[in-house]
Amino acid sequence: MFLMKSSEKQSILIVDDSRTNIMALAELLKDEWAIKIANNGATALRIAESKSPPDLILLDVMMPEMDGYEVCKRLKESPITKDIPVIFVTAMDSLENEEFGLSLGAIDYITKPISPPIVKARVRNHLELKKYRDILKESSRIDGLTGISNRRRFDEALSAEWRRALRYGSSLSLIMIDIDHFKNYNDSYGHLGGDECLRQVAQSLHSIPKRPLDLVARYGGEEFACLLPETEFTWALKIAEDLRSNVLALQLPHKSSPLSEQVTVSLGLTTLIPQKGQEAQFIIEEADRALYTAKEAGRNQVSW
């Protein structure tokens, strides 16, 4: 459900200050792959960090302002872009240059003038490897019990969205969700019964947020987290209420709950605009505090 659809074309970002070079490469590759272009380093970095990053970057070296080596260095330094493979395509054909380019983390170094079939073959090989890396990466970010995203995916997404929100001054919302009286549930229905309950609650939570960057993850035990980038408080509150009522709608019996006859969740919501000097951890602490308030106030409710 989370894996890339095989029908989706992989995309290549071509970075070159020469329009002629861009057109030549684009012409060569456009039938097989989706093409993005940038005629300077800053634009390339922006596209690489965007919500739909390329699967491969073909990078010129000699460009005014920021050269290709610097672009590659920055791509490899950022956790958001470091896994995008970079191939230098350049007229700088000395062994020293090639060695330097590869030492920056590029996976390949192609010198101009290019041989079109060889460029195509190398691009194809690297994109094939990228596809399998993506599949592996994806499966290591799925929670084994519930099939939704796991803590690792959540931590990565939070760190990426925190940076983005900090840079653009946008609102980030986080909802922490905890099943009420789950210890009792395990006591009544056994650990396997508890596991089945976790699966159903996870799936019902997962089906609520609709935008591609919204994320519901199993945070740990019987706690879940819902991360909503670029989301204002009012909308996040509506999502939180929807999460709560979707779990109620499951009508899972919970005979030993001191609260009601069925499984319920408590939710803590925080919306904030990240400020310089704050750590991403801050939004978790705030949402946890709100969750504690919801528990204290009687559970089966949203607090903020």
Give the shortest CB-221-to-ligand GH3 separation in angstroms.
3
Q: Which residue is nearest to ligand GH3 (CB)?
A: 194
Through-space distance between the first and last CA atoms of the chain, rounded to whole angstroms: 32
Give the shortest CB-302-to-ligand GH3 separation in angstroms.
15
- Give yes or no for residue 180 binding ligand GH3 (CB under 6 A): yes
Instruction: Identify the CA nearest to 69 among candidates 107, 105, 101, 110.
Output: 101
Give the shortest CB-221-to-Mg ion separation in angstroms.
6
Distance CA 89, CA 112 (A): 7
The residue (of 123 and 294) whose beta carbon lies closer to ligand GH3 is 294
> From Mg ion, ligand GH3, none, which one binds at residue 191 (CB under 5 to 8 Å depending on kind)?
ligand GH3
SS3 content of the chain, % helix, strand, coil (to 5): 45, 20, 35
> From ligand GH3, Mg ion, none, which one binds at residue 143 (CB under 5 to 8 Å depending on kind)?
none
- Residue with the two structure tokens 């056994």: 190
Q: In this structure, are residues 229 and 214 in contact, taking their beta carbons and an 8 Å threshold?
A: yes
- The number of residues making up the chain comes to 304
Active site members: 222
DSSP three-state, residue 115: coil
DSSP three-state, residue 259: coil
Strands 11-15 and 34-38: parallel
Helix ranges (H only) for the chain are: 19-29, 41-48, 68-77, 95-103, 116-139, 151-168, 182-206, 233-249, 281-296
Q: Using CB under 6 A, pick the residue from 195, 214, 230, 241 that binds ligand GH3.
A: 195
The residue (of 70 and 195) whose beta carbon lies closer to ligand GH3 is 195
Q: Using CB under 5 A, pick the residue from 3, 4, 62, 249 that binds Mg ion.
A: 62
Q: Using CB under 5 A, pick the residue from 11, 17, 134, 230 that binds Mg ion.
A: 17
Q: In this structure, are residues 248 and 262 in contact, taking their beta carbons and an 8 Å threshold?
A: yes
Q: At what angle do helices 68-77 and 41-48 cross, to 10 degrees?
A: 20
Q: Using CB under 5 A, pick the residue from 29, 47, 48, 60 that binds Mg ion.
A: 60
Distance CA 210, CA 54 (A): 23
- Give yes or no for residue 222 binding ligand GH3 (CB under 6 A): yes
- Give yes or no for residue 298 binding ligand GH3 (CB under 6 A): no
> From Mg ion, ligand GH3, none, which one binds at residue 60 (CB under 5 to 8 Å depending on kind)?
Mg ion
Site string for Mg ion, 164-183 (x = CB under 5 A): --------------xx--x-
- Give yes or no for residue 143 binding ligand GH3 (CB under 6 A): no
Give the shortest CB-304-to-ligand GH3 separation in angstroms.
18
Q: Which stretch binds Mg ion (CB under 5 A): 23-31, 57-65, 211-219, 239-247?
A: 57-65
Token pair of 156 as six digits: 């990565």
Query: Which residues make up the interface to ligand GH3 (CB under 6 A)?
Result: 145, 178-183, 186, 191, 194-195, 198, 221-222, 295, 299
Query: Which residues make up the interface to Mg ion (CB under 5 A)?
Result: 17, 60, 62-63, 178-179, 182
